[in-house]
Amino acid sequence: MANPPVATASALSYMLAGAMMAGVAMYFVNQANSAGLFGGPTASTASISDQPKAPITSEDDDNSDSEEDEEEEEEEAQDEQDLKGFEDTSEECKLVLVVRTDLGMTKGKIAAQASHATLACYKSLASLSSSHPSHNLLRRWERQGQAKVALQVKSEDDLLLLQAQAVSLGICAKVIHDAGRTQIASGSATVLGVGPAPKGMVDKVTGHLKLL
Query: What is the per-residue pLDDT for 133?
Result: 76
Query: What is the per-residue pLDDT for 47?
Result: 36
Tell me the pLDDT tens digit for each residue of 38-63: 554 433 333 333 444 445 556 544 44
Q: Which residues of the chain have pLDDT under 70?
A: 1-89
Query: What is the per-residue pLDDT for 88?
Result: 58
Query: What is the per-residue pLDDT for 87?
Result: 60
Residue type, 61: D
Distance CA 111, CA 148 (A): 13
Query: What is the per-residue pLDDT for 70?
Result: 55
Structural domains in the chain, CATH included, are: 46-211 (3.40.1490.10)
Kindly state the DSSP code that residue 40 receives in the 8-state scheme.
S
Distance CA 121, CA 154 (A): 22
Query: What is the per-residue pLDDT for 90?
Result: 78
Query: What is the per-residue pLDDT for 2?
Result: 53
Please report, for residues 47, 171, 190, 209, the alpha-carbon distance to residue 158 in angstroms, rounded to integers and kept in the order given.
Answer: 23, 17, 11, 11
Q: Where are the alpha helices (DSSP H) in the chain?
A: 11-34, 65-82, 107-126, 133-143, 156-168, 199-206
Query: What is the per-residue pLDDT for 19?
Result: 66
Do 95 and 193 meet the contact criterion of CB atoms below 8 Å apart?
yes
Query: What is the per-residue pLDDT for 130?
Result: 81
The pTM for the full model equals 0.67
Query: What is the per-residue pLDDT for 152?
Result: 98
Query: What is the per-residue pLDDT for 136?
Result: 82
Which residues fall within 8 angstroms of residue 45, CB to CB, at 6 or more apart? 27, 30, 60
